[in-house]
Structure 1
Amino acid sequence: MTLDVDARLDKDSLKRAYAHMLGYGCDAVTMNWIGYTKNSYSRLAKGLLVSTLVADYSILNGRDRVGFKVFPVGCGTMFKRKAIEEVGEWDYTMIQDDLEIGARLIRRGKRICSSNSPVQVEVPDNFYAFYVQQTRWAMGSTEVLIRRFRDLVKSNVGLLRKVDMFLFLMQYFPFAITFVSALVLSVYGFIGKGDPLNSPIIVIWLLALGSYVYSFVYVARKLGMKLVESLRSLGKLSSYSVAISPFILISIFKAFSGRRTYVVTPKGKITKTKAIYIIGVFGFYFLLASVSFFLKQEFISGLWLAYYSAGYLFAFFSELLNK
């Protein structure tokens, strides 16, 4: 059984997870992640409480119900001893050894299930803790993708399930790709002609964005949040997620290069980082590029860059004024 030192269990959590393991013939069982925070004033923490549930519904329970492969989680996974003995112990050299041992279990044909047995996990309540956690996870999942690529390819599962496993391990790539795309678009705004985003693709993006906002607010309301508080929490979480995109990209590159360094998530302790000034520079740069598009009356690309820059600038000023 894997648990974080700050995890909390219900009285019957272990019994329910074990019953699920026996009932469904599982070799490992993940538990239902429920976020908690000691800081009731942090909108970032409130946003993460919601996103933790959304992630559990989709990445764990959702994927299990449609027959996709589930990876173990670092906090709240129960393993059969026999399964661990067959694949070997955890690889302490890996950042996310939970995903790594999951890849080996899947390679050996072991079944990993998702259960509704609750485990409460503490979520970050400040920018630095969030920044450290997400960049480490981005590096760790990419590292597993690289080092266990062959195991996943050779696993005895269908093509669609293999594609899903790779997409799961690449879940941080969209942040990096969007950041690089924004850089390219901003350069084009200064030297090019035309509106690159004036196409039906922007409609697909808006529909996807609207779907996520609806899902987030729906879950937030179920947790007892008012509509305005739900939207403000979503806004803070989204802006911070966008703001750390450059560092997500760096973490992915570090994983590919093999030169990785990281620290554990400093929960409960507020620490400042100079990364916020880099975030501010990017925010003003993207805003300037959006103005360039507006001056040429290329409004779609201008609006998108203004929207994108808002995440950086909000994070920058929030942390600057919080000193």
Structure 2
Amino acid sequence: MDLVIVLMITLPQLWFYIVYAVFAWRAANCRQHTTSCSPGEASISFIIPVRREPLEYLEQAVEYIHGLGIRDYEIIIVSDDDEGFKQVLFDKLHEWRRRGLNVWIIWRSRPVGYRTGALNTALWLSRGDYIYVLDVDSRLDKCLLDCAMEILSSHEDTVAVVGRWEPLNLDARLSEALGYSMRFIVGAIYHGRNCMGLNVFPLGTGTLFKSRYLKEILNGWDQERIQDDMEIGSRIMYHGLKVRYLSDCAVYVENPSTYKALRIQQSRWAYGATDVLIARWRHILGSRQGVLGKIEAILFLSQYIVPSIVFLGTVMLAVNAFIKPFDVLMRHTHLIIALAISQWFFGRYYYREVKKHIDSSWGTLVNMGRSAAVTTALSPYYLYSTLKALLRIRVQYARTPKGMYQLSSSRIRIPWELILAVLYAVTGIIYLLNNATLSGLWLIANSSAYSYVVYRWRKDVFFN
């Protein structure tokens, strides 16, 4: 049993750190120079799915698109809001159209398919040569549209082009940590993967598609899946088509600034990725990708299984303290050493990326530690969502709260973060009192992560 615990804690992390370190190394040594791209003559349909989004966010998104100066565009807003909000939207629509903005609103009384259903509704009514899905809290560089249209028009086998994700907001502790972490992780797995010739998945916002391919070959998005980008990316791979990545053109996305919003977002992503893995693994294995590309795509969709297994191993280690508190981890020091080395290589590239944006070394380390603490605290939710996907339990699409919706609280919840912080602290001390130093320190470190989240975001821990 002790070997099982150690393997659960070390092997998934070894895979994660080694793979991401390789991608980060490749990205750091691969420069993509995009020549200036001229605006295309083709038309673009912007699709904005909304449900309980702050009205000011929607207004800003529409104004931003109009301000890009695109010659031929249309904005299709698909609303799944309550009927009471419908008139507010249509009043705003009349104002936009009086000003000459080419905006349309589709209000759905029944949100069939939720986000993917909304995307399909707009897709089949769109007239643009290209499709760009836009979240109300994201912005894009004009160069992404210009260069993506140039690439798509000159490469018949390319169905989509993805831009580089950048943080739009760095005004809170959490959003700052997530923003810098996102810069590193997305840069590594997208730019690094692209440089290695591996498959690139579309992003939910930040991808320009060929409309004709979406309609005639892919037949739109799969309304049974809640993770639309990973799902359609798997089918793009199956059809032998390509998705290209532009590292020089940015898409700015708003990161959650509250732990509650992040918990909802990450739970949905964990379920969605695992659900796509189960539904589309045959498409990936049956694609024209090489063996390495297929394996990597499967592992990419398995990314939330990694922290889930580590969490289970850590809980088993904690329970073991009440049964036989010997140093489980010390018995397999070769695996611990290998994990430490892989963490060092990963952390080296991570530190370099974050340090580009933060003046002090201490501030960089604090930012990295904050991100690691939050990721650890989310582990039980990764496990819960992953298990629901594996057991094929259907869930409704839960949108990430934005604006004022991030701050609203409804009812008391079980504070799992506090419970785990106490469990790990107690069992860690038990190990230390029995001279099981390594196992004790591992649990104390995990307890510190949960304790930090409880301290910083108390309201989000105790209330939904």
The TM-score, its normalising length taken from structure 2, stands at 0.66
Contact 2:307–2:382 under 8 Å retained in 1: yes
Q: 1:177 maps to what in 2?
A: 309
Deviation per CA, 1:12-64: give whole Å up to 9, x if none: 33102223334565221111111111x52x12111111111112222211111
The residue aligned with 2:208 is: 78
Matches of 1:106 and 1:301, distance apart in 2: 43
Query: 2:153 & 2:345 partners in 1: Cα distance?
Result: 36
Question: What amino acid maps onto 1:270 in structure 2?
Answer: L
After superposition, residues 1-323 of structure 1 pair within 5 angstroms as 1-22=132-153, 26-37=158-169, 40=171, 42-84=172-214, 85-116=216-247, 117-198=249-330, 199-257=333-391, 258-268=393-403, 269-272=406-409, 274=412, 277-320=415-458
Distance 1:186 1:192, change over 3 A: same
| Counterpart residue identity of residue 177, structure 1 | I
Structure 2 gaps of 5+ residues are 1-131
Residue 88 of structure 1: CA displacement? 1.0
Task: Report the residue type matching 2:189 in the other structure.
Answer: I
5+ residue gaps in structure 1? none
Q: Deviations over 1:126-177 (max 9, x none)?
A: 1111111111100011110011121112112222211100100011111101
Question: Higher mean Cα deviation, 17-26 or 155-164?
Answer: 17-26
Q: Which secondary structure state, in structure 1, belongs to the residue aligned with residue 224 of structure 2?
A: coil
Contact kept, 8 Å, 1:83 with 1:105, in 2: the verdict is no
The code of the aligned residue for 1:64 comes to: N
Q: Give runs of ≥4 in structure 1 deviating > 6 Å.
A: none
The alpha carbon displacement at 1:4 in A equals: 1.3
User: Residue type matched to 1:318 in 2?
Assistant: R
Whether the 8 Å contact between 2:199 and 2:243 is mirrored in structure 1 is: yes
Counterparts of 1:176 and 1:118, CA distance in 2:
31
Residues 258 and 457, structure 2, Cα contact 8 Å, conserved in 1: no
Q: Alpha-carbon deviation of 1:276?
A: 6.7
3-state SS, counterpart of residue 63 of structure 1:
helix
Cα distance in 1 for residues equivalent to 2:228 and 2:342 = 32
Using a 3 Å threshold, how does the CA distance of structure 1 residues 302 and 220 change in structure 2: closer, same or farther?
same
Distance 1:158 1:282 in 2: 42
Whether the aligned pair in 1 keeps the contact of 2:184 and 2:354 (CA below 8 Å) is no
- Residue 143 and residue 304 in structure 1: after superposition, are their counterparts in 2 closer, same or farther (change >3 A)? same
Amino acid at match of 2:407: I
Q: Matched residues in 2 for 1:159 and 1:237: separation?
A: 33
What does the per-residue CA deviation read over 1:243-276, in whole Å, with 9 as the maximum and x for residues that have no partner?
A: 1111110101111222323421112322457557
Q: Decide whether aligned partners of structure 1 residues 274 and 283 sit closer, same or farther in structure 2, where only a CA change above 3 A counts.
A: farther
How many residue pairs are counted as aligned between the two chains?
Answer: 321
One-letter amino acid of the structure 2 residue matched with residue 34 of structure 1 = E
Distance 1:219 1:233, change over 3 A: same
Q: Percent of aligned pairs with the same residue?
A: 31
CA distance in 1, matches of 2:195, 2:222: 29
